[in-house]
Structure 1
Amino acid sequence: MESDIALLSDAFPWFFPIAAFIFGTLIGSFLNVCIYRIPAKKSVIHPGSTCACGQPIKWYDNIPVLSWFILRGKARCCGRPYSFRYAFVELLTGALFLACWLHFPPAKALCGMFFVSCLICASFIDLDHFEIPDRFSIGLAVIGVILAAFVPSLHGQSHELPLIAGLRSGVIALNGVLIGSALVLWIAILAEAVLKKEAMGFGDVKFVGAIGAFCGWQGAITSIFGGAIIGSLWFAGALLWQKMSGKQMKLKTPEPGEAPADLGVGAHVPYGPMLALGGLLHFLFLHRWVEAYFAQLQEML
């Protein structure tokens, strides 16, 4: 199978990268549906995509990325504007699918595409609702361990006996779940004891475990501390922009009857997107350096 893919790739080097990007934009369109419907407890399958006015969206107005630019961000049926975020999610998913294909062998690339899709979905739901559904934490962790057992290359394992390689990969994934979630849980407990208030939601604890299933315990640690650095930089930049512009930034659109949350010191901000970005950077780019660092550290100790 992989040899056939390699032959086709040699003959047409542009085919699979373009296919990966287009496939990613199509999945991104589906993720937009999931981001909206899953928190609302609605089916992601039925009915099909509809406009805010209730009219079904025609297939030619639902082309990933392109439709937003063709329609200039306005629905054809009623003229209502709709957010560029729909096109952004599609473009982001396509770009990350392409990155997975270019960085990894086919089997691991497909696992990476699934992982990326879940990270995107969980991140935008957390941004909108300050929660990460269990299907993107517990469910993703379970699937990650299973995939690791069947696709040993997910954790760089190979052996003459596929069963041994799968067992090693599955153990690495399970260690990532347990160590990652345990570490962030203790950080949350200690931070709550110091700050005298909840510092991190339990959804973040489970989410780091899911990231560890695909990235190993080293990736879970990168996700935690890398996410903290990313969050600090974003928070500092947002506060600076707020001060310079004189505009008060809102963390999310308030629910009916709920006061909008302002950005400021002590504000509760969603940590899931930052964890996801830290885990994503490890999975795609940083894993070699991080794992080499921990291996060297282990030798020194």
Structure 2
Amino acid sequence: MAFDYAEFSAAFPWFFPVAAFFIGACVGSFLNVVIYRLPKEESIVTPGSHCACGQPVQWRDNIPILSWMILRGRARCCGRAFSFRYPFVELLTAALFVACWLKFTPLVAVCGWIFVSCLIAATFIDLDHMIIPDVFTIGLGVFGVLLSCLVPALHGQQGDFFLVDSLRAGAASLQGLLIGSGVVLWIALIAEAILRKEAMGFGDVKFVGAIGAFCGWQGAVFTVFGGAIVGTVWFAIAFIVEKATGRRAAVAPPSETPEGEAAPLAFGAHVPFGPMLAIAGALYFLLLRDATLRWFAEIAVLF
């Protein structure tokens, strides 16, 4: 007897969202390893998870989200506190996995899982090191084009002929990659000419291209300007909190001088733009795609 997804989902509507949450939490746990080890050029496979004191983490202390709560944020072996970021990344990944599952068809949702996982990893690596590794820029962009060809519905192509849909979706993905990276590159070059200094890292250029591979050129353009809005709001909140408390806000993004030294959050300081781009890209992918496409269609009619 063949498995009927629609029938099973109708009978047990909670099953797949719950499964998506658990899968997302486990992936989030793996992302914590990637975020910590990848910038150090360490293996993300071996050795297994271990405490800062060197002791391996037992399986019962490595259950996503739950173990941190049971242990109250401290290692069982030595009592060291470990960051709230670990369960936060797991919970965030789980929540976004559920959102993808509820929003899209299963195949597109799985593509979304890959996309948001890379956005999360790139975000926290950029916050820690002010770099976005090529695996989340060039690698993600290439993978986005390949996935678009295999799952044309990722770009809204759902006709009767798979080959035609695949070519159209692949072209839309490639267009998003090239236009997205090209727009940011020109913005960076113009800003650099005006300010007489580097205004945006090349990693951001490649990152927008990778987002465009999953979201199309409209999503890439939205990400550039949406990321600027996210950054403006983020900085405004940080400044308000800093003025109210008299010390640097915990929510403030890291900032440094052009020479790489820590600096106050102010005009001219270098800040990671990747997190802002990632937030805007996720908003477009999960919530604002349809509204943005309608807006671009209305603009096209005027011309």
Aligned to 2:90: 90
Structure 2: unaligned runs, 5 residues or longer? none
Distance 1:253 1:239, change over 3 A: closer
Which runs of 4 or more aligned residues in structure 1 lie more than 6 Å from their structure 2 counterparts after TM superposition? none
TM-score, structure 1 as length reference: 0.96
Instruction: Report which stretch shifted further, 244-253 or 75-84.
Output: 244-253
Aligned to 1:288: 290
Conserved 8 A contact 2:255-2:271 = no
Conserved 8 A contact 1:145-1:170 = yes
- Alpha-carbon separation, structure 2, partners of 1:210 and 1:190: 22
**Matching of residues 17-166 of structure 1 within 5 Å:** 17-166=17-166
**2:83 aligns to what SS in structure 1?**
coil
TM-score, structure 2 as length reference: 0.95
Distance 1:42 1:85, change over 3 A: same
Distance 1:3 1:174, change over 3 A: farther
Q: Deviations over 1:75-113 (max 9, x none)?
A: 000000000000000000000000000000000000000
Aligned to 1:248: 248
Distance 1:253 1:265, change over 3 A: closer
Give the aligned residue type for 1:79. Answer: G
Conserved 8 A contact 1:74-1:80 = yes
**Correspondence for 1:260 among 248, 259, 262:** 262
Aligned to 1:270: 272
Structure 1: unaligned runs, 5 residues or longer? none
Distance 1:231 1:31, change over 3 A: same
Q: Deviations over 1:43-87 (max 9, x none)?
A: 000010000000000000011011111001000000000000000
**Matching of residues 175-254 of structure 1 within 5 Å:** 175-249=175-249, 251-252=253-254
Conserved 8 A contact 2:24-2:97 = yes
User: How far did residue 265 of structure 1 move?
Assistant: 2.3
Give the aligned residue type for 2:180. Answer: G
User: How far did residue 262 of structure 1 move?
Assistant: 2.3
- Alpha-carbon separation, structure 1, partners of 2:295 and 2:265: 36
Q: Deviations over 1:167-212 (max 9, x none)?
A: 0000000000000000000000011111111110000000000000
Identity among equivalent positions (%) equals 60
**1:38 aligns to what SS in structure 2?**
helix
The alignment of Structure 1 onto Structure 2 pairs a total of residues equal to 297
**2:40 aligns to what SS in structure 1?**
coil
Conserved 8 A contact 2:24-2:93 = yes
CA RMSD of aligned residues (A): 1.5
Q: Deviations over 1:219-260 (max 9, x none)?
A: 001110000001011111111211221113575499xxx743
